[in-house]
Structure 1
Amino acid sequence: MTDKRSGNMNPPVIVWLRRDLRLSDQPAIVEAASQGPVVPVYVLDDETPKHRRMGAASRWWLHNSLEKLDAALRAKGSRLILRKGRSEEVLKAVAEEVGASSVHALHHYEPWWRNAEKAVAQVLDLHLHHGNYLAPPGSVLNGSGRPYKIYTPFWRALHERLPPIEPLPAPRKLDAPGNWPGSDSLKEWRLLPSAPDWAGGMRDTWEPGEAGAQARLQAFVEEASAYESQRNLPSVEGTSMLSPHLHFGEISPSQAWHAVADAGGSVETFLGELGWRDYAQNVILQFPEYGNRSAKEDFGHLPWRSGKGADSDLAAWQQGRTGYPIVDAGMRQLWHTGWIHNRVRMIVASFLIKHLLIDWRAGEQWFWDTLVDADYGSNAVNWQWSAGSGVDAQMFVRIMAPLTQSEKFDAAGYIRDWVPELADFSDAEIHDPGSASRLRGYPAKLVEHRAARERALAAWAHSKGH
């Protein structure tokens, strides 16, 4: 097919976009553009993931990110084609409409995307590129030629292969096909909440899209050298807040690495967090069911709580009504912004699992629906780390004391932001207000720390007895 607009004699090439919604450092787009007119396609495939279809917060982010990507593509002389359905069926139909036979895409490692890649490869000439991780998952091997299961030796081996290659620039222009295929309207997909519209806090907090990712990165560059001293302080917010941008591929880990690597100070700790992201993908590559199945057999015998009492406690945890201010602040931040501070994520996860003795999978599913950075690998690995059930995890018997954690990491200001009922309490009182008369409706503790600890340890002893 001749491209009537650009004179390009080569047939169009499809770029299949998923969690790689950027133009810079995007190897699939660069390679496709070198071969012919480019047809960028995003497929809303809810059928292949089945119960792992994107949650509500992720869908809000996706709408905004796709809107920004389409505008960026149009500035390059292109546009984004939106279709809904099974990936292989949609891409085959688009290929027939435009006379394309080849598809370029970035590798994805979630089990459903690996299945989709196999299905697409059966009907089209699929070319997969690396670009969403520091090194291709599955490529960092131990001395026996096997993937690592433990983070520390994995990071040591990965670090020897770094820095990653320099990021690729965005194409200056993209040749268009002679005829564009039809596209769905983004509005038709109804990714945004409407009745009610609960996304106001997310709109105030985030700027989805590649430009927003770059702005967030540049802001973090100024703080990266102090990462180690500030990242555990929720009142300071010393984390990068890049996680949703990295998840949706609006920025590559290579771009983040090269932007901050020379910041000095404790930036190496942040680089290790990028390495943890790679590690999580290596885990789900080895254990595709990691988000649904405990890695350690003992957890199959652990007597998790169930029934009305557990359901009521789970709802209180979800709503930020546990009576533990640091836990409630975190869960309210999550509901309002679609995000939760890293240190607080560990505290609220430990509280659900060990204080409330509720299966870690209930928490993982809640995060899957409410986080804008809900990533299958990272979410599963972090929840199993907190539970102690993972291939690399803290021991179940290590039970975080949320009141101590709150005071240790100076969370008073953070609590005032998210638990206004306690705004008048002093720094000394706010971490554990107890039964003070001025609680203004703030709930009593669901369970006292000592009783929760004893219950958790008894449950663990029961599981070990089987």
Structure 2
Amino acid sequence: MAEPQIVWLRQDLRLEDQAALAAAAEAGPVVPVYVLDDDAPGAWAMGGASRWWLHHSLAALDAALHARGARLILRRGACVDVLAGLAEELGTRAIHAIRHYEPWWQAAEQALAERLDLCLHDGNQLAPPATITTGAGKPFRIYTPFWRALQQHMPPPAPLPAPRTLAAPARWPKSDRLAAWALLPTKPNWAKGFDWTPGEAAAHEALEAFVEAAGDYGEHRNLPAEQGTSRLSPHLHFGEISPARVWHQVAKAQRDAGTFLGELGWRDFTQGIIRQFPDYADKNGRPAFDALPWRKAPAELRAWQQGRTGYPIVDAGMRQLWTLGWMHNRVRMITASFLVKHLLIDWRAGERWFWDCLVDADYGNNSVNWQWIAGSGVDANMFSRIMAPLGQSEKFAAGDYIRRWVPELKDLPDAAIHDPDAQGCRPADYPAKIVDHREARARALAAYRRVKA
């Protein structure tokens, strides 16, 4: 029998268009492995919402593997040592994996390659980041020219089919029980409102449901009260569906899908940023922002986290986040801007909260998006452009969205629901604004002058 081939799975929990799995299956019996390593990421170990998703995604993947004559091996510990030990158990040195760009995975890949015959494959991006460069051969730091360059490489290669069967090793190594990892919340079960179905099959169903509306994405994605977004982000983060599959299916069905495809391109861009700046989640992309005098305001941070700021659109978004483990994209920008500019609280505090609460928490997307809002990133919105949450709420017709997530305001008419304080009809059980918009704006601009000095 040919030498067993280990497939090291991380954020690539799928069978279709899985280059590492396909290469391993051609070479010999396949042993798919997921290692839960909370030490390698350090402070960036998965948050609670992501762990909930991971549990269900692993269960779905194991069922799909069993249908093909294989199984998923679960191990917990330092991934390099665990994989090296497993290879010794199996009498093999062959290991395949999809390349990842988070700094802890880059370090693990390098260390593992020194101990085993590690074969890395591309497949979690539309194009490998190293192939999209400026005319001088440098990686991009600004999205717009990056997107123009990426489009010259599109479409991506056609997705690889999922294997119908997989050859098994002579003996299967022992596996942890998924339940023993205790990834699901129990006391209390704060995930009871999560209306998601993780797994590869559900990812394809979500794509099918979205593809016909993808042409209207540019218009409807900004309306929180409508189902205008794809809701593919957690499936893409966990690699339950490849970006190439999404690109091909959307582009085939919709001629006018450029805005949505650009969002797929943004995912690639963020991977390129963390490849250049591995500590981007912890350090300002623009060192001048180290001088910005952030406020220490724990009570206001808690009010923001709990959706008790007195700004209805902000509170609706934060409550949606807690209930669903997800928030509408437009509202993510509004809530993040409010924390950073209205409350003048360090963007890293918001980044950490999103990391723990989002089912689609992604190191590249999360850090790049927060630094874009904060103005501190290498590609960022100007700090002085301060988003007005009340105006945003009215502009994007968020009335019904607010009624769903802030029931204290459900009886208010559209004319009052965006700013009940100003209309003199704030219910007694809804908090007053924790900061005045004009005062907050003036304070933020004064702080920003320290950066420009």
- Say whether the fold is shared (TM-score over 0.5): yes
Given that 1:138 and 1:285 are in contact with CA atoms closer than 8 Å, whether structure 2 keeps it comes out as: no
Counterpart of 1:371 (choices 345, 358, 367) is: 358
Per-residue deviation, residues 329-374 of structure 1 (Å, max 9, x unmatched): 0000000000000000000000000000000000001011100000
Point out 4+ residue stretches in structure 1 off by more than 4 angstroms.
none
Residue 62 (structure 2) aligns with: 70
Counterpart of 1:235 (choices 214, 222, 225) is: 225
Using the TM superposition, name which of 380-389 and 254-263 deviates more. 254-263
| Post-superposition offset of 1:264 | 3.1
Residue 153 (structure 1) aligns with: 145
Residue 210 (structure 2) aligns with: 220
Distance in 2, Cα, partners of 1:366 & 1:129: 32
Q: Does 1:39 align with 2:27?
A: no
| Post-superposition offset of 1:148 | 0.7
> What SS does structure 1 have at the residue aligned with 2:32?
strand
| Residue type of the alignment partner of 1:279 | F
Change (3 A) 1:359 1:333: same
> What SS does structure 2 have at the residue aligned with 1:126?
strand
Residue 459 (structure 1) aligns with: 447
| Post-superposition offset of 1:93 | 1.2
| Post-superposition offset of 1:438 | 5.5
Distance in 1, Cα, partners of 2:164 & 2:253: 30
Given that 2:37 and 2:79 are in contact with CA atoms closer than 8 Å, whether structure 1 keeps it comes out as: yes
Residue 20 (structure 1) aligns with: 12
Residue 132 (structure 1) aligns with: 124
Q: Does 1:444 align with 2:429?
A: no
| Residue type of the alignment partner of 1:461 | R
Residue 101 (structure 2) aligns with: 109
Counterpart of 2:399 (choices 412, 419, 432) is: 412
Residue 425 (structure 1) aligns with: 412
| Post-superposition offset of 1:138 | 2.3
Residue 3 (structure 1) aligns with: none
Per-residue deviation, residues 393-435 of structure 1 (Å, max 9, x unmatched): 1100000000000000000010011000000000111000117
Scaled by the length of structure 1, the TM-score of the pair is 0.96
Per-residue deviation, residues 66-103 of structure 1 (Å, max 9, x unmatched): 00000000000000000001111111111111122110
| Post-superposition offset of 1:437 | 4.9
Q: Does 1:174 align with 2:162?
A: no
Q: Number of residue pairs matched?
A: 452
Q: Does 1:392 align with 2:384?
A: no
Distance in 2, Cα, partners of 1:224 & 1:103: 38
Scaled by the length of structure 2, the TM-score of the pair is 0.99
Given that 2:420 and 2:426 are in contact with CA atoms closer than 8 Å, whether structure 1 keeps it comes out as: no
Structure 2, unpaired ranges of 5+:
none
> What SS does structure 1 have at the residue aligned with 2:252?
coil
Distance in 1, Cα, partners of 2:15 & 2:149: 30
| Post-superposition offset of 1:301 | 0.6
CA RMSD of aligned residues (A): 0.9
| Residue type of the alignment partner of 2:399 | A
Distance in 2, Cα, partners of 1:300 & 1:252: 37
Distance in 1, Cα, partners of 2:218 & 2:40: 40
Q: Does 1:10 align with 2:10?
A: no
| Residue type of the alignment partner of 1:327 | V
Given that 2:280 and 2:368 are in contact with CA atoms closer than 8 Å, whether structure 1 keeps it comes out as: yes
| Post-superposition offset of 1:112 | 0.3
| Residue type of the alignment partner of 2:450 | H
| Post-superposition offset of 1:216 | 0.4
Distance in 1, Cα, partners of 2:375 & 2:239: 30
| Post-superposition offset of 1:178 | 0.8
Distance in 2, Cα, partners of 1:386 & 1:395: 8
Distance in 2, Cα, partners of 1:76 & 1:255: 21
| Residue type of the alignment partner of 2:394 | E
Distance in 1, Cα, partners of 2:425 & 2:392: 24
> What SS does structure 2 have at the residue aligned with 1:344?
helix
Distance in 2, Cα, partners of 1:156 & 1:375: 24
Residue 267 (structure 2) aligns with: 277
Distance in 2, Cα, partners of 1:324 & 1:398: 19
Distance in 1, Cα, partners of 2:306 & 2:282: 23
Per-residue deviation, residues 118-166 of structure 1 (Å, max 9, x unmatched): 1111111000000000000122010111001100000000001000000
Counterpart of 1:303 (choices 293, 314, 325) is: 293
| Residue type of the alignment partner of 1:364 | E
> What SS does structure 2 have at the residue aligned with 1:15?
strand
> What SS does structure 1 have at the residue aligned with 2:74?
strand
| Residue type of the alignment partner of 2:74 | L
| Residue type of the alignment partner of 1:316 | A
- Trace 1:208-357 onto structure 2 (pairs within 5 A): 208-264=198-254, 266-306=256-296, 310-357=297-344
Distance in 2, Cα, partners of 1:199 & 1:297: 38
Distance in 1, Cα, partners of 2:376 & 2:107: 26
Residue 349 (structure 2) aligns with: 362
| Post-superposition offset of 1:247 | 0.1
| Residue type of the alignment partner of 1:197 | N
Q: Does 1:52 align with 2:39?
A: no
Distance in 1, Cα, partners of 2:78 & 2:450: 45
Given that 1:21 and 1:65 are in contact with CA atoms closer than 8 Å, whether structure 2 keeps it comes out as: yes
> What SS does structure 1 have at the residue aligned with 2:293?
coil
Residue 184 (structure 2) aligns with: 192
Given that 1:226 and 1:265 are in contact with CA atoms closer than 8 Å, whether structure 2 keeps it comes out as: no
| Post-superposition offset of 1:167 | 0.3
| Residue type of the alignment partner of 1:424 | D
Given that 2:388 and 2:437 are in contact with CA atoms closer than 8 Å, whether structure 1 keeps it comes out as: yes
Given that 1:227 and 1:266 are in contact with CA atoms closer than 8 Å, whether structure 2 keeps it comes out as: no
Distance in 2, Cα, partners of 1:33 & 1:137: 26
Distance in 2, Cα, partners of 1:74 & 1:316: 47
Given that 2:211 and 2:254 are in contact with CA atoms closer than 8 Å, whether structure 1 keeps it comes out as: no
Distance in 2, Cα, partners of 1:263 & 1:353: 39
